[in-house]
């Protein structure tokens, strides 16, 4: 049994909206910063956010690919299992909530560095410049 035409359109629209929202909120992932997060003994906030951004992009892309495969009907048995178990809906909801949470935290976070305990000339003298 193929997925009905209305369901196919709905799946494609949902996948497109989710990918566009992720692109708008998350922006492109930065693999260099994520690798810095994985390889550093003391990761920075920026590298942690880069690692989370890549993880969330992976979830978004997985749901988009599953949606496209379901819409194309190439994985008919998988599509029927996904529809029955509601895993598809759960994956779309979870990745959408992750995008929303990361976007909210990104806009709420103050990532500016502040100087405390000294001035720029003092720092330069400590570094020997």
Higher pLDDT, 45 or 116: 45
32 membership: H or E segment, kind and range: helix 31-39
> Is 87 within the bounds of a domain?
yes
> Is 118 within the bounds of a domain?
no
pLDDT confidence of residue 127 = 76
Q: In this predicted model, what pLDDT tens digit does every residue of 63-96 receive, in sequence order?
A: 888 888 777 775 566 666 666 667 777 777 887 7
| Average of per-residue pLDDT across 25-37 | 84
Tracing tokens 């922006």 back to the chain, one arrives at: 27
> Is 16 within the bounds of a domain?
yes
> Is 104 within the bounds of a domain?
yes
Query: Per residue, what are the HEC states of 13-77?
Result: HHHHHHHHHHHHHHCCCCHHHHHHHHHCCCCCHHHHHHHHHHHHHHHHHHHHHHHHHHHHCCCHH
| Domain with 97 in it | 5-110
pLDDT confidence of residue 46 = 84
> Is 59 within the bounds of a domain?
yes
Higher pLDDT, 30 or 3: 30
For the chain, how many structural domains are there in total? 1
Cβ atoms 98, 59 nearer than 8 A: yes
């Amino acid at each position: 049994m193929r997925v009905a035409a209305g369901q196919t359109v709905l799946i494609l629209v949902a996948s497109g909206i989710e990918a566009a929202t992720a692109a708008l909120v998350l922006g492109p992932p930065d693999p260099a910063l994520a690798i810095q997060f994985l390889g550093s003994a003391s990761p920075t906030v920026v590298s942690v956010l880069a690692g989370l951004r890549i993880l969330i992009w992976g979830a978004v892309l997985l749901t988009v690919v599953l949606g496209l495969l379901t819409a194309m009907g190439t994985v008919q048995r998988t599509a029927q299992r996904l529809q029955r178990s509601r895993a598809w809906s759960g994956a779309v909801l979870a990745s959408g909530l992750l995008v929303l949470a990361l976007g909210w935290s990104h806009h709420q976070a103050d990532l500016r560095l502040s100087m405390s305990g000294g001035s720029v000339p003092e720092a330069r003298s400590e570094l020997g410049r």
